Amino acid sequence: MSQTSVFKPWVPNWAIILILIVCMLHSMVLLGVYTANVTYSASFLDVDVEDLQFSLCVTYGTFLATILIESRLFKFFPTKKYFVTIYSLAAITFILSAYTDNYSVFIMLRMVEGVLMALPWIPLRQLLITRFKSKNAVIIGFSCNYGALLLASPFIMNIAVWLLENYDWTYMAYGSALFQILCVALVMLTFNNNRFHKKIPLYQVDWASYILVLTAILCGSFFFIYGERRYWFDSPQIILSLLITLVAGGLFVIRQQLVKRPCFDMNVFRYANLRTGFFLFVIFYIARATLNMCHSAMFTVWNWEPSRVAQVQYLNVIGNVIGMVLAGIFLAKGIATRLIFSLGFLIFAIYHFWFTFLFVPDVALSDILIPYMLQGVAVGVLFVPLVLFTVSSVPTHYAPFSGTVGVSGRFWGSTIGFCILQNAQVFLQRSHFTKLRQFVLSESPVTSERLAKLTQSFLAKGFTADEAYKLAVQQLIQAVSKQSVLLSDMEIFTVIGYGLLFLVVLLLLNSHLKQTFDLFKNRVWGS
- Are residues 121 and 27 part of one domain? yes
Rounded to 5 degrees, what are φ and ψ at 99? -115, 20
For the segment 470-496, the average pLDDT, to the nearest whole number, is 80
> Does residue 18 register a pLDDT over 80?
yes
Instruction: Report pLDDT for 120.
Output: 84
pLDDT band per the 50, 70, 90 thresholds, residue 347: very high
CA dist 111 and 55 (Å) reads: 8
At 158-214, the pLDDT tens digits run: 666 676 666 666 777 787 788 888 888 988 888 888 777 777 766 677 788 888 989
pLDDT band per the 50, 70, 90 thresholds, residue 38: low
- Are residues 155 and 39 part of one domain? yes
Instruction: Report pLDDT for 519.
Output: 44
CA dist 302 and 102 (Å) reads: 33
CA dist 401 and 399 (Å) reads: 5
* Sign of CA pseudo-dihedral 451, 456, 457, 463: positive
- Mean pLDDT score of the chain, rounded to an integer? 78
- Are residues 438 and 363 part of one domain? no
DSSP string, 174-218: HHHHHHHHHHHHHHHHHB-S--SS----GGG--HHHHHHHHHHHH
> Does residue 456 register a pLDDT over 80?
no
For the segment 129-133, the average pLDDT, to the nearest whole number, is 74
Asked whether 472 and 451 are in contact (CB, 8 A), the reply is yes
Instruction: Report pLDDT for 526.
Output: 40
pLDDT band per the 50, 70, 90 thresholds, residue 523: very low
Does 526 map to a domain?
Answer: no
CA dist 217 and 252 (Å) reads: 11
Does 524 map to a domain?
Answer: no
Does 491 map to a domain?
Answer: yes
DSSP percent split of the chain into helix, strand, coil, nearest 5: 80, 0, 20
At 306-332, the pLDDT tens digits run: 777 777 888 888 888 899 888 888 887
- Are residues 167 and 121 part of one domain? yes
- Are residues 445 and 425 part of one domain? no
- Are residues 295 and 225 part of one domain? no
- Are residues 233 and 199 part of one domain? no
> Does residue 157 register a pLDDT over 70?
no
Rounded to 5 degrees, what are φ and ψ at 254? -60, -40
CA dist 154 and 170 (Å) reads: 20
Asked whether 469 and 442 are in contact (CB, 8 A), the reply is no
Instruction: Report pLDDT for 243.
Output: 94
For the segment 123-134, the average pLDDT, to the nearest whole number, is 76
- Are residues 1 and 149 part of one domain? yes
Does 222 map to a domain?
Answer: yes
For the segment 479-502, the average pLDDT, to the nearest whole number, is 86
Parent domain of 239: 208-262
Instruction: Report pLDDT for 143.
Output: 66
- Are residues 74 and 53 part of one domain? yes
At 207-261, the pLDDT tens digits run: 888 889 899 999 998 998 888 788 788 888 889 999 999 999 899 888 888 877 7
Rounded to 5 degrees, what are φ and ψ at 364? -95, 160
pLDDT band per the 50, 70, 90 thresholds, residue 518: very low
Instruction: Report pLDDT for 448.
Output: 66
Number of domains in the chain: 4
Instruction: Report pLDDT for 40.
Output: 56
At 260-311, the pLDDT tens digits run: 777 777 878 887 778 888 888 888 888 888 888 888 888 778 878 777 777 7
At 89-103, the pLDDT tens digits run: 988 888 888 787 778
Distances (CA, A) of 145 to 1, 83, 137, 275, 334: 20, 17, 12, 23, 21
Does 425 map to a domain?
Answer: yes
> Does residue 437 register a pLDDT over 80?
no
> Does residue 394 register a pLDDT over 80?
no
Nearest to 63 by CA among 122, 151, 141: 122
pTM over 0.85: no
At 140-151, the pLDDT tens digits run: 666 666 666 766
- Are residues 477 and 425 part of one domain? no
Nearest to 273 by CA among 409, 122, 141, 380: 409
Strand, coil or helix: 7: strand
pLDDT band per the 50, 70, 90 thresholds, residue 488: confident
pLDDT band per the 50, 70, 90 thresholds, residue 525: very low
- Are residues 401 and 377 part of one domain? yes
Nearest to 284 by CA among 190, 414, 184: 414
Asked whether 334 and 135 are in contact (CB, 8 A), the reply is no
- Are residues 420 and 438 part of one domain? no
Does 527 map to a domain?
Answer: no
At 1-14, the pLDDT tens digits run: 454 577 888 888 88
Asked whether 226 and 50 are in contact (CB, 8 A), the reply is yes
pLDDT band per the 50, 70, 90 thresholds, residue 137: low
The amino acid present at 320, given as its one-letter code, is N
> Does residue 431 register a pLDDT over 70?
yes
Does 50 map to a domain?
Answer: yes
For the segment 507-525, the average pLDDT, to the nearest whole number, is 55
Instruction: Report pLDDT for 440.
Output: 58
DSSP string, 437-454: GGGGSTT-HHHHHHHHHH
Q: What is the CATH number of the domain that holds 14?
A: 1.20.1250.20
Does 43 map to a domain?
Answer: yes
